[in-house]
Amino acid sequence: MAIKIVRFILSLLFLTVHALAYSQLLDTSSVHDYNPTDIQIQQTENFTFLDTTQTNLDTTLNLFYNYYPTYQNNFPFIDLGLEATPVLSLSQSNRRQLRLQLGADHMRPYFYDYAVHIYQTDKPFTRFNYSQGANEMLSIEATHAQQISKRLSFGVDYRRIKNQNFYFSNLQNFSRVRMGNLFNTKFYTSYYSTDRKYEMVASYIWNRSKHVESGGLSSDSAFNSQIGRDKLNNSLVSYTDGIGTIAQNQFRLTQYFRPGGMSTDSTLNASLNQFNQQFFISTALKNERLEFEDNNPDSLNYDSSLLPFKDSSYHRSVENEIGYMVTLGRNKMATSIIHDFSTIYQNFERETFQNIYLSSKGIIEINKMSFIPKLKLGISGYNAGDYSIDGIVSTNLNEIEIKGGFSIQQVEPTFMQQEFNSNAIQWNNDFSKVSVNQVHGSLSTQQTNHNLKFDVMAENTNGLVYYHSGNQISQFNDNLNWLRVIVSHHFKNEYVGSDFSLTYQNSSNQEILPRPETAISGNLFTQFRLFKKNLNVQLGVRSYWFNSFNSPRYNPYTRAWHNTNELFESTPPIQVYTNAKVKSFCFGVEFFHIQQGLMGENYYSSPGYPMMPRNLRLNIRWDLNN
């Protein structure tokens, strides 16, 4: 009887909340008029050139994968079958930043970058995004921004992704069965004086990822022979009690000092176009920690018998930059000196580095053409003798946007490629610097409801460092050529829309740089309005595919993707979804991998790592700014 009463109360509560929400969201009376606040975004890195260009916050119907950055920015890619697990982009350049870094980049697509953006809003703005699926798939995002005063802004971005490991149920420690567990937090604040001759931007970024290091299935044939729920409870893995952690945090304070200007005692001008020069000082405190532990090590994984152990690597640095920017007519140039003091610990071994870099970049305007050159040199320290030279040219010809550029760089391999100290293996390499030369260009045009873009990149790499069999690492001291061509088309009118992307690649050596030649990503949807056009509904289907190739396999111990001679055949998951939006509220439902079992039972996201089975996902997004 008590259970029935509880069910009745819960049902009544649900119906009441539903009715109230419906009345507020779909009611068109004057009582509930919806007046959205315009939200603008400023990129603070543009402040270097006194640029306060703003972009509008995207408030359109989202395509459900907005919470998963890998699908947006890294296709084609392979991962471990779950969100918040290591990722390898299959169309990424060999070019990298010129700085001292550990080099464990397998989680980089999930981590916030160090760029800081500031929301410009008359009213406090909060965006909440919540997604949930089977097997404890959970994603939470929250953004809040407000201007405490006209000259003082504050904001925070938060993200949490969690996935339960639903295949590897024979792990030793079942409490670690949550395979992906990731946190991101970014705080920022900005302030400027009444005449804007002084301005500062402060930010704090914290990232943390903790997940099971299973090593993949120990028997693919056993997995392929099972169907349905049998797959969930009978899939043995290589590492039965391994776990990995990555933690990062950074505090940065950038200050701008602007002499001159047009402000007087009687007239205050707070715009940046009144200045033609500025000094800037930036200070950053950075920490990155990597851990790997195995409480039940198998000698087959390490080629030796080991007791339970934990490996750790820790990089701490203090970076200071001082620079000067000047405007000369329509042209701008900025030059700075960067000093970085770094300390690296690997399993109780300690090394320190004093790194000095020279950086320069500019904007040169010639008629309707813009040229952006960038230069960075390693003066001393770990990156002594390194250089990176880039240039980008852009212009418009009628309704066609044309961009082209080049990149020339020579960079020391990452620290963990040169030195690796652990309980099972060690190496101390003397690899030469990696040289990367690149040219690229793009054409894009917008014609009524169509957007067409053609992008091409050609790259030559000498001295590429790569991982291969077991725990081995080598350097390819020869030329490696890579070509990438991407053609993308976007169409949308009042009733239908589509997004298609075709990627073609050619690697001169598939053993060293294995890449699929062809990759396709597609999204097709229809949209319509209901309830006096107040409810916008979207129905669609999307999928992706790339051709078979010798795919790298993830090694949890080295935290890197190792080349194999194993042919990997992509499984194209088909996703059917529906989205709806009313005022500032979006709601979505998606069936992921809907064709599971209809196209065989051997579906994988990368060698040894099964793709998620068919499941239902729910997603909501609510902008609280009215």
Strands of 99-221, DSSP E? 117-120, 125-133, 137-149, 152-164, 178-192, 198-212
DSSP for 124-141, written as a single string: -EEEEEEEEETTTEEEEE
Rounded distance between C-alpha atoms, residue 164 and residue 85, angstroms: 11
Residue 11 has pLDDT above 70, yes or no: no
- For the ranges 92-101, 229-238, 512-521, the lowest mean pLDDT is seen at 229-238
Q: What is the average pLDDT across 177-184?
A: 83
Q: What is the CATH number of domain 2-29+37-263+277-624?
A: 2.40.170.20
pLDDT of residue 368: 87
The number of helix segments (H) and strand segments (E) in the chain equals 6, 35
Q: What is the average pLDDT across 245-263?
A: 92
Q: What is the average pLDDT across 252-277?
A: 84
pLDDT of residue 277: 95
> Would you say 217 and 243 are in contact if contact means Cβ atoms under 8 Å apart?
no
Which residue would you say has higher pLDDT here, 236 or 192? Answer: 192
Considering only CA atoms, which of 134, 160, 129 is closest in space to residue 64?
A: 129
- The CA-to-CA distance between both ends of the chain, in Å, stands at 44
Rounded distance between C-alpha atoms, residue 2 and residue 304, angstroms: 60
Q: What is the average pLDDT across 209-237?
A: 84
> Would you say 255 and 44 are in contact if contact means Cβ atoms under 8 Å apart?
no
Q: What is the average pLDDT across 468-478?
A: 93
The pLDDT tens digits of the residues spanning 318-346 come to: 999 999 999 998 899 999 999 999 999 99
> Would you say 51 and 272 are in contact if contact means Cβ atoms under 8 Å apart?
yes
**Residues ≥6 apart with Cβ < 8 Å to 62:** 579, 586, 588, 619, 621
Residue 72 has pLDDT above 50, yes or no: yes
Full-model pTM: 0.90
Respond yes or no on whether the N-terminal peptide bond of residue 69 is cis (omega within 30° of 0): no
Q: What is the average pLDDT across 459-488?
A: 96
- For the ranges 63-72, 255-264, 271-280, the lowest mean pLDDT is seen at 63-72
Residue 492 has pLDDT above 80, yes or no: yes
Strands of 276-399, DSSP E? 277-294, 309-328, 331-346, 349-366, 369-380, 387-397
Rounded distance between C-alpha atoms, residue 72 and residue 507, angstroms: 23
3-state secondary structure 568-594: ECCCCCCEEEEEEEECCEEEEEEEECC
pLDDT of residue 26: 52
pLDDT of residue 150: 85
3-state secondary structure of 360: strand
Q: What is the average pLDDT across 620-626?
A: 81
DSSP H or E stretch at residue 524: strand 518-530
Task: Out of 111-115, 245-249, 303-307, give the one with best mean pLDDT.
Answer: 245-249
Beta bridge partners of 422: none
Share of residues in the chain with pLDDT > 90 (%) = 58
Q: What is the average pLDDT across 173-185?
A: 78
**Residues ≥6 apart with Cβ < 8 Å to 232:** 166, 167, 169
Q: Phi and psi at residue 484, in whole multiples of 5°?
A: -135, 130
pLDDT of residue 240: 85
Rounded distance between C-alpha atoms, residue 254 and residue 114, angstroms: 12
pLDDT of residue 177: 64
Q: What is the average pLDDT across 538-542?
A: 92
3-state secondary structure of 69: helix
3-state secondary structure of 106: coil
Q: What is the average pLDDT across 557-582?
A: 92
Considering only CA atoms, which of 330, 323, 382 is closest in space to residue 356?
A: 382
Which residue would you say has higher pLDDT here, 170 or 198? Answer: 198
Residue 248 has pLDDT above 60, yes or no: yes
Q: What is the average pLDDT across 160-164?
A: 87
Q: What is the average pLDDT across 583-602?
A: 86
Residue 598 DSSP one-character state = B
Rounded distance between C-alpha atoms, residue 413 and residue 168, angstroms: 35
Residue 8 has pLDDT above 60, yes or no: no
Burial class (CB in 10 A: 0-12, 13-18, 19+), 193: middle
Rounded distance between C-alpha atoms, residue 92 and residue 552, angstroms: 14
Tokens of 623: 């902008």
Beta bridge partners of 204: 187, 251
Q: For residue 10, what pLDDT band results from cuts at 50, 70 and 90?
A: very low
Q: Which residues of 292-308 are buried (b: 16+ CB within 10 A; e: fewer)?
A: bbbeebbeebbeeeeee
Q: What is the residue-averaged pLDDT of the chain?
A: 88
Q: For residue 604, what pLDDT band results from cuts at 50, 70 and 90?
A: very high
Tokens of 235: 């899939």
Share of residues in the chain with pLDDT > 70 (%) = 90
Q: What is the average pLDDT across 241-257?
A: 95
Considering only CA atoms, which of 404, 386, 407, 290 is closest in space to residue 340?
A: 386
User: Cα–Cα–Cα angle for 128, 130, 133, nearest 5°?
Assistant: 175
pLDDT of residue 467: 96
Q: What is the average pLDDT across 445-466?
A: 95
- For the ranges 188-197, 253-262, 271-280, 610-619, the lowest mean pLDDT is seen at 610-619
Q: Is 579 left (phi over 0), alpha (psi -120 to 50) or beta?
A: beta
> Would you say 552 and 514 are in contact if contact means Cβ atoms under 8 Å apart?
yes
Residue 6 has pLDDT above 50, yes or no: no
Residue 30 has pLDDT above 70, yes or no: no
Residue 188 has pLDDT above 70, yes or no: yes
Considering only CA atoms, which of 603, 473, 518, 477 is closest in space to residue 90?
A: 518
Q: 152 to each of 120, 194, 264, 469, 578, how far by Cα in Å?
A: 11, 11, 22, 54, 40
Tokens of 519: 């990759």
